[in-house]
Chain A
C-alpha cells in the first residue's frame, strides 16, 4: 500500500522527467538575456521567476486553445546558468500526453508581446529558439515628416523670392517716376532761368520732345 502510494506520488515527476528533456520533439528551448535587457535592474532567475514564466505560458495556451491550462501543465527542465531551459506543455485532460509543437508555437506567437511584458523582456532578450519573432513595422506617420520640413523651407524661399521681386519692381517704378520728374523739372527750371536772364532758351538740344513718342 505504502509502496503504491509512493509510486503514484513519484510518477508525475518521473513522467515529467521523461516528457521534458533537452531536444524533446514537442519542446522548445528558451533563452533569457535578463542582464542585457535590464542592466542594473536585472532580477535574479530563481524558482519564483520560473513560476511566473510557467504562468505566462499557461495563459498563452489557455488563450489560444480556449482550454484551461494550469501552471503544472508547463514542464521546465535542463536549466543552465545562461539562463536557458527547455519546456514542454502537457494536455490538461491527460498529463501524460504532450500538446503538439505547432499549437504551442502559435500560442506563443499570438501572445508574444504579453509574455515579453510579464517578464520585462523583449523579442531579442526572450528568445524562443525556432519561433520567429513578430515584427513591428516601423512607425509611419500620416504625413511623412520630411514633407513638412520641405514645405517650410520652400514656403520661406518662395515668399522671399516674391518679396524681393515685388520690391525690385516697386523700386524701379519709383526711380522712373523720379527721373521723369527730374527731367521735366530740369527743363522747366532751365527755361525759367534763361528767360529770367533775358535770353531765349534754345530748344534744339533739349531732350524734351513736344511730340509724342511713337
Chain B
C-alpha cells in the first residue's frame, strides 16, 4: 500500500530556494532605514571616526553573539519564536509571546514611515518638486506665513504631508492622503506575503539588493558635488575626547542592538526554514558584518550630500550679504563676489563702519551649517529633500532616494511580519481550515486599521511615542532572557552539541564567554543605564506650533498623563508575558508533576533520532 501521506491537513515546513535567498532576507531584515538615517548622525555627533571604536566593540561582544544565538536556535529547533522558547522550557514561553507582541507593535508604526516614504515618492514626479515652493496665502497677497517663517521644505513636511497639530492631545482628523498611502504600503506587504515564503523570498532579491545599487549611484554623484569633502571631513574627523562620555558607549550599544533586529523573533523564524545542517556561524558573521559595513558605506554619500548642502547654504548666506552691500553702496554688479567678499567687507568696514553696523547682515559660518544635522525623519524628509533641490535633475535623485528608503523599509518589514505570522501559526490561534492567504490578509487588515491612528493630525507624535518606547526597553529585556535562557536553562553544553550537529564544530571560547557572561552583562548595563536616563526626566516631545514665539523652532511640551500611561503600557505589556507565563507554568508543573509538555511537541522527545548527548532530561520540568 502506498504509505505516502495523502492527508491534505499536514503541510511541509516551507524552505528557502537557496542559501542566497536566506542570507539576503536576513541582511534585508537587519539593514533598514536606521542604517541610513541613524548611524551617520551618531557618527557625526559622537566625534566621527572615534565613534567606530565603541560601535565595533558593541558589535563584537553584543551584536554578533546574539545574532549567532538566534540563528542557531531557530535552525536547530526548526520553529518560530514561540515554538523555540517553549521547546527549551515552558517557563520561557513568555519570551516568544513578548517577541510576537513587540514585532506587531513595531510593524504598526514602521509601515507608517514607509507610507510617508511612498507619499514623497508619489510627489517626486512633479516638476518643479512640490517642496521647492511656498504656496500663496488665503488672499493671494503673499506667501503663507507659516511657510515663510520656516522653509518650504519644512512646510511641505509638517503641513502638506503630516498636517501636524500643535499638541498630541489635539487629534485632528484622518488625513485622507496618508490613509491611502498607508493602504498602499499594507497592500504591497500583503502581495509579498501572499504565497508565504515563495513570494517573499522572490521579492527579497530586489528589495535587499536595490538599496546597494542606489547607494553606489549616490556615492558617485555625491563625491562630485562641491562641498562633499567638507561633509566627509566633518563626519570622520575623530574627536577622541568624546570616548570619555558614557552616553557614547550607551548609544553605540543600543544602536548595534536595534540595528541587527534581534529579539524580534523574525530571525529565528527565518533560520527555522533552513536545512538542518547549515553553517549558521558563518551566516551570523556574514549578516552582522554586512550590516555594519552597510552603515559605514551609507554614511559616505549621506555626508557628502550634507556637506554639499552646508556649502550651498553658506554660499547663499554670503550672496545675500553681497546683495545687501551692493544695493546699499550702489557698487557695480559682480564686483563683489564670493571670493573677494572678505576683502570688500574689511574695506567697507574701515570706510563706513556706521553703515555696516546698521545693515541686516547675516553671520555666515560654514561650521554652523554643518552642525545643522538631523537624524530620522528630519534627515530624510527635510534635510535631504532640501539638498536634492540643489542638485541638477532633482526629480531623478528624489525618486531614487525614496525608492531606496522604500526597499530598505520593506525588507525590514518582512522580518517584522514574519515575527508575527509564524508565532500566530504556532499558537494554534488560526483554525486549520483558514487558508494562509486569508490569515495573512486578516493580519494586514487589522494592522492597517490600528495604524490609522498614525494618519491622524497628531500621528507623527504617536509614531515618536511608539518608536522611542516599544523599540527600546522591551527588546533589551527579551534579548537578556534569550541569552539567559539558552546559556543557562538550555545549557551551554547542550547548545554546543546542537551547534556541533549543525555545523560540525563546537563553538569556541569566545562565543561561550560572550553567551554566558559578557553579552548578558552588557545588556544589563545598557538596560540599567537606559532606564536611569529615561526615568530621570519627565518625557517631553517637540511640538510643531506655528503660533509659538520662537517658531520655527519646535516647542518642547510634556506628555499629558494619559499619554504617559500609554507609554508605560507599551513598555510593560510585551515583557509582562515573560513572568506571567513563567509563573503559570511553574504552578502548573508543581500541580501536575508530569514529565513532558503534553500539548506542544517537544523536538527532543523523539527517541528515534537520538544523537549523542547527555542530560536530555534537562528540558522537562
Q: Do chains A and B stick together as partners?
A: yes
**Chain B residues with CB under 8 A of A83:** 332-333
Most buried by B among A146, A183, A190: A146
**Chain A residues with CB under 8 A of B547:** none
Report the bound CA distance from A94 to B194 in whole Å: 86
Given contacts A157-B188, A165-B194, contact A80 B133 (CB under 8 A): no
**Chain B residues with CB under 8 A of A181:** none
Report the bound CA distance from A154 to B121 in whole Å: 13
**Among residues 86 to 140 in chain B, which have CB atoms less than 8 Å away from a CB atom of chain A?**
118-119, 121-123, 125-126, 133, 135-136, 140
**Chain B residues with CB under 8 A of A190:** 1
**Chain A residues with CB under 8 A of B142:** 135
Distance in angstroms from A165 CB to nearest chain B CB is: 6
Whether B125 pairs with A36 at a CB distance below 8 angstroms is no
Q: Which of A27-35, A47-55, A59-67, A97-105 contacts B (4 or more CB under 8 A)?
A: A27-35
Given contacts A153-B184, A157-B188, contact A82 B6 (CB under 8 A): no
**Chain A residues with CB under 8 A of B13:** none
Q: Which of B49-57, B323-331, B364-372, B462-470 contacts A (4 or more CB under 8 A)?
A: B323-331
**Chain B residues with CB under 8 A of A150:** 122, 180-181, 184
Whether A135 pairs with B140 at a CB distance below 8 angstroms is yes
Q: Is B607 an interface residue (CB 8 A)?
A: no
Report the bound CA distance from A81 to B122 in whole Å: 48
Whether B191 pairs with A145 at a CB distance below 8 angstroms is no
Q: Is A17 an interface residue (CB 8 A)?
A: no
Whether A82 pairs with B332 at a CB distance below 8 angstroms is yes
Q: How many residues of A contact B (CB 8 A)?
A: 35
Q: B interface, how many residues as a size bin?
A: 35 or more
Whether B133 pairs with A138 at a CB distance below 8 angstroms is yes
Whether B330 pairs with A81 at a CB distance below 8 angstroms is yes
Report the bound CA distance from A84 to B330 in whole Å: 7
Q: Is B334 an interface residue (CB 8 A)?
A: yes
Report the bound CA distance from A161 to B193 in whole Å: 10
Most buried by A among B118, B180, B191: B191
Given contacts A135-B136, A161-B190, contact A145 B125 (CB under 8 A): yes
**Chain B residues with CB under 8 A of A135:** 136, 140-143
Partner of A149, one of B1, B8, B125, B437: B125
**Chain A residues with CB under 8 A of B135:** 137-138
Q: Is A186 an interface residue (CB 8 A)?
A: yes
Partner of B2, one of A157, A158, A186: A186
Given contacts A82-B327, A135-B142, A168-B437, contact A34 B333 (CB under 8 A): yes
Given contacts A82-B331, A146-B123, contact A154 B191 (CB under 8 A): no
Given contacts A153-B184, A157-B184, contact A81 B195 (CB under 8 A): no
Q: Is A160 an interface residue (CB 8 A)?
A: yes
**Chain B residues with CB under 8 A of A164:** 191, 194-195, 199
**Among residues 432 to 466 in chain B, which have CB atoms less than 8 Å away from a CB atom of chain A?**
435, 437
Residue of A nearest to B133 (CB): A138
Report the bound CA distance from A135 to B141 in whole Å: 7
Residue of B nearest to A179 (CB): B6
Q: Is B387 an interface residue (CB 8 A)?
A: no
Given contacts A135-B136, A165-B437, A168-B195, contact A35 B333 (CB under 8 A): yes
Distance in angstroms from A102 CB to nearest chain B CB is: 17
**Among residues 358 to 377 in chain B, which have CB atoms less than 8 Å away from a CB atom of chain A?**
none
**Among residues 22 to 46 in chain A, which have CB atoms less than 8 Å away from a CB atom of chain B?**
31, 33-36
Q: Is B187 an interface residue (CB 8 A)?
A: yes
**Chain A residues with CB under 8 A of B121:** 149
**Chain B residues with CB under 8 A of A35:** 333-334
Report the bound CA distance from A186 to B1 in whole Å: 9
**Chain B residues with CB under 8 A of A34:** 333
Report the bound CA distance from A110 to B123 in whole Å: 34
**Among residues 173 to 190 in chain A, which have CB atoms less than 8 Å away from a CB atom of chain B?**
176, 179, 182-183, 186, 190
**Chain A residues with CB under 8 A of B143:** 135
Whether B191 pairs with A81 at a CB distance below 8 angstroms is no
Distance in angstroms from A164 CB to nearest chain B CB is: 5
**Chain B residues with CB under 8 A of A33:** 333
**Chain B residues with CB under 8 A of A132:** 141
Whether B333 pairs with A36 at a CB distance below 8 angstroms is yes
Report the bound CA distance from A163 to B330 in whole Å: 70
Whether A157 pairs with B122 at a CB distance below 8 angstroms is no
**Chain B residues with CB under 8 A of A145:** 123, 125-126
**Chain B residues with CB under 8 A of A82:** 326-327, 330-333
Report the bound CA distance from A182 to B199 in whole Å: 29
Whether A161 pairs with B187 at a CB distance below 8 angstroms is yes
Report the bound CA distance from A161 to B186 in whole Å: 12
Distance in angstroms from B138 CB to nearest chain A CB is: 12
**Among residues 172 to 220 in chain B, which have CB atoms less than 8 Å away from a CB atom of chain A?**
180-181, 183-184, 187-188, 190-191, 194-195, 199
Residue of A nearest to B135 (CB): A138
Question: Can you list 28 A-B contacts with CB-CB less than 8 angstroms, sorted by A residue number?
Answer: A35-B334, A36-B333, A81-B332, A82-B326, A82-B327, A83-B332, A83-B333, A135-B141, A135-B142, A137-B135, A145-B125, A146-B119, A146-B125, A146-B126, A148-B125, A149-B122, A150-B122, A153-B118, A153-B122, A161-B191, A161-B194, A164-B195, A164-B199, A165-B437, A168-B194, A179-B6, A182-B6, A183-B6
Query: What 10 pairs between A and B have smallest CB-CB spacing?
Result: A80-B330, A146-B122, A81-B332, A82-B330, A149-B122, A35-B333, A146-B123, A138-B133, A145-B126, A157-B187
Q: Which residues of A contact B (CB under 8 A)?
A: 31, 33-36, 80-84, 132, 135, 137-138, 145-150, 153-154, 157-158, 160-161, 164-165, 168, 176, 179, 182-183, 186, 190
| Extra A-B contacts (4), CB below 8 Å, given A135-B142, A183-B6 | A82-B331, A83-B333, A135-B143, A157-B187
